[in-house]
Structure 1
Amino acid sequence: MSAFDAVRARRSFSKVTDAAPSHDELLPLVAAAGRAADHSSLRPWRLIELRGADRERLGRAMNKADGEKGASAKPLRAPLLIAVVVSYRPSEKVPRWEQAAAAAGVAHTLSLLLDDAGWGVIWRTGRWTRTEPVAKAHGLRANENLLGWLYVGGRPEGKAAGPRKDLDAERYLTPMPDPR
């Protein structure tokens, strides 16, 4: 399948099975995703694997951020969560917004690679990404922000990726305005 076909076939899977890629299966995908556009090759990102009890700990941090007891079940929706972290690097050439964009590019590329490998994936964000309890649970440093999580699992039976409704590209690709 070409890259064009893989991108056109990609879809988000909000429900997945308990199957998940192993750490060793993730490594070549992460290495390939790391080839995403990255001005000055700063690699201003890192990824955190959450499996098993890690997901329960995240659920407790989410509830703590909301002032509630117990644990949110949201992180249990997939057997593997991959936290996407932007790790800002000192640079006079590359502003913070561009470093965050590079980290987002890695996350999106990884989601495409996981989808192409047959896994169900959805990128989830939410209000918790900027809360102290969730940052602490992930061990974020002062120079880091959480961009969200890739929820990864097996594709449910009969839920193959396939073509989606075409985007009206003419609506989003416009010429530079005439200055007159």
Structure 2
Amino acid sequence: MSALEAMRVRRSLLRVTDEAPTHAELVELVSAAGRVADHSGLAPWRLIELRGDDRERLGRALHKAERKRGVSTKPLRAPLLIAVVARIRPSHKVPEWEQEAVAAGVAHMLSLLLDEAGWGVFWRTGDATRSKAVAKAHGLARNERLLGWLYVGGKPERSRELRIKTVDGERFLSSMPRKKDKKGKKK
């Protein structure tokens, strides 16, 4: 499958099975996803693999962030969660927003690779990504920001039948505006 075709058929699956890629399979995909465009080669990202009890620890941190007791079941919706972390590095050439964009680019590339490899993937974000309790659970340093989690699992049989939505590229593509002359005509 070409990269173009892989992107056309990709979709988020909100329900996945209990199967997940192995650590070794994941390492191979992360190695490829890490080739995302990265101004100055800062590699301002890292990923955290959450399986088994790690998901329950995250569930406790999510509830703590919301000032609730107990454990949120959200992290249990997939057998593998991959936390996407932007590692902001001091740079006079690369602003913080661009470093976060690189981390998000790695996550998106990884989601495409996982989808192409036959895994179901969806990306979760939210206010909890910036909470102290969730940052502590992930062991984030002061210069790190959690961007969200990729939820990964097997693709249910029924998901293969889902309709693929198309995007009208013409709607989102425009030319740079041109200046108008004194008569109001574009130059």
Q: TM-score range by the shorter chain?
A: over 0.9
Q: Which residue of 1 aligns with 2:61?
A: 61
Question: How many residues are paired up?
Answer: 180
> CA contact under 8 A between 1:10 and 1:162: conserved in structure 2?
no
The alpha-carbon deviation at position 68 of structure 1 amounts to 0.6
Runs of 5+ in structure 2 lacking a partner? 181-187
> CA contact under 8 A between 1:120 and 1:155: conserved in structure 2?
yes
Letter of the 1:61 counterpart: A
Higher relative CO (CA 8 A, sep ≥ 6), structure 1 or 2?
A: 1
Letter of the 1:168 counterpart: D
SS in 2 for 1:158: helix
The alpha-carbon deviation at position 170 of structure 1 amounts to 1.4
- 1:42-121 equivalence runs, <5 A: 42-121=42-121
Q: Which residue of 1 aligns with 2:135?
A: 135
Q: Which residue of 2 aligns with 1:12?
A: 12
Q: Distance in 2 between matches of 1:21 and 1:51?
A: 11
Q: Distance in 2 between matches of 1:138 and 1:20?
A: 21
Q: Which residue of 2 aligns with 1:30?
A: 30
The alpha-carbon deviation at position 179 of structure 1 amounts to 2.5
Q: Distance in 1 between matches of 2:60 and 2:159?
A: 31
| Identical aligned residues as a percent | 67
The alpha-carbon deviation at position 40 of structure 1 amounts to 0.8
Q: Distance in 2 between matches of 1:112 and 1:177?
A: 33
The alpha-carbon deviation at position 16 of structure 1 amounts to 0.3
> CA contact under 8 A between 1:9 and 1:161: conserved in structure 2?
no
SS in 2 for 1:159: helix
The alpha-carbon deviation at position 90 of structure 1 amounts to 1.3
Letter of the 1:14 counterpart: L
Runs of 5+ in structure 1 lacking a partner? none
Q: Distance in 2 between matches of 1:46 and 1:165?
A: 31
> CA contact under 8 A between 1:30 and 1:110: conserved in structure 2?
yes
Q: Which residue of 1 aligns with 2:149?
A: 149
The alpha-carbon deviation at position 160 of structure 1 amounts to 1.8
The alpha-carbon deviation at position 178 of structure 1 amounts to 1.6
Q: Distance in 1 between matches of 2:38 and 2:83?
A: 19
Q: Flag as ranges the 4+ runs of structure 1 deviating above 4 A.
A: none
